[in-house]
Amino acid sequence: MQEEVYIAGMPQLSYEGLSENWLLKECGHRHWLGLAELNNQELPEFFDLSGNKAYAAFTAVKIKSKSLEGIDENQSFSIRSEVARVGPARYLGEHTVTSRSFQCAQVTMLSTFVFRREFKNNQSVTRASFKAEPTEFNGDREQLDEWVAFAKMARSGNWVEHMGIKRYYTGKKHALTYTPCPHSDFNGANFLYFASFQNYIDKAEWEWFRGDELWALDSRELYYYGNINVGDSLTITLGSVELSTDTLLHWCEVVNNQNVKIADVFTIKRRAKHAT
């Protein structure tokens, strides 16, 4: 895909530089267009072998920020996207954010195709079947396989430490419950939007650790296992946390209102430039 150039304005910016939430949405959109390009489609529209309408669902997303907070109002930046097929219905997207010849962030996205077995029931989602096509991935297959393997470990809870975050539960129970809004949290395919999870984690973090300091993103990994319907609630629970003078690390679980885990989120932040 071609590199896209942007001018940072209010939609792209947050209190601390380029908005992580906007960036996820834009990279998700570019990933979707990349799928169409790889499959020789002018616009993305997919059907599986049984004729079911299929959508790309992200199973894992990584964000590594070198300087999102370094992008200011009216500053130009670019996003270069590469999307590759790494399995019959699995795709890897790599999106690099650059400004003033400096790489500001890298967003890596892993997706698969899904469909609903029941009309408008997001809890009936299952993987779609597609004709096997040759993979087009020339990157680090071992690293990719390790990422996929960890996603399975995270879902089962069979991990000890990740990104320097240890798996334990805080003595004090931290949990917040939300009922997502269909007008702002769901996408046009009627799924709870993958970027909404990041938004909820930041809101929960602000509620739990609000103080005199702001924290800027260093890196985050999100692992997705399911979705919810309009009207359902979800609960964000803080698993473990490490807080020091300069860094904040935490792991959060997201469960639906049937107490089924639908996501894990690992976050590392550093002290931001601005105070509250």
Per residue in 197-220, pLDDT (tens digit) is 999 999 999 999 887 678 999 999
- Distance (Å, whole) CA 63 – CA 165: 16
Average pLDDT in the 86-107 region?
92
68: which DSSP letter? G
Model confidence at 89, in pLDDT bands (50, 70, 90)? confident
Report all structural domains of the chain as residue ranges with CATH numbers, in order of start: 4-275 (3.10.129.10)
Average pLDDT of the residues of the chain: 92
Q: Percentage of the chain with pLDDT > 70?
A: 97
pLDDT digits (tens, 9 = 90+) for 156-199: 999 999 999 999 877 667 999 999 999 999 999 999 999 999 99
Report whether pLDDT(275) > 60: no
User: Would you tell me how many other CB atoms lie within 10 Å of the CB of residue 83?
Assistant: 23
pLDDT digits (tens, 9 = 90+) for 252-274: 999 999 999 999 999 999 988 76
Q: Hey, which residues does 7 pair with through a beta bridge?
A: 76
* pLDDT at position 274: 61
Model confidence at 87, in pLDDT bands (50, 70, 90)? confident
- Distance (Å, whole) CA 63 – CA 77: 17
Report whether pLDDT(118) > 90: yes
Please give the C-alpha separations between residue 193 and each of 25, 140, 181, 184, 242, in angstroms, as whole numbers: 9, 29, 11, 9, 28
Report whether pLDDT(276) > 60: no
* pLDDT at position 150: 96
Report whether pLDDT(231) > 70: yes
> Which range (36-40, 93-97, 161-165) has the least confidence?
36-40
Nearest partner of 229 among 113, 119, 128, 127, judged by Cα? 119
pLDDT digits (tens, 9 = 90+) for 124-147: 999 998 887 767 778 888 999 999
Question: Reduced to 3 states, what is the DSSP secondary structure of residue 187?
Answer: coil
Contacts of 19 (CB under 8 A, 6+ apart): 12, 13
- Distance (Å, whole) CA 223 – CA 99: 28
Q: Percentage of the chain with pLDDT > 90?
A: 79
Report whether pLDDT(1) > 70: no
* pLDDT at position 16: 87
Nearest partner of 202 among 269, 272, 109, judged by Cα? 269
* pLDDT at position 137: 77
Model confidence at 53, in pLDDT bands (50, 70, 90)? very high
Kindly calculate the radius of gyration of the chain based on its CA atoms and give it in whole angstroms: 19
* pLDDT at position 170: 72
Report whether pLDDT(111) > 80: yes
* pLDDT at position 134: 67
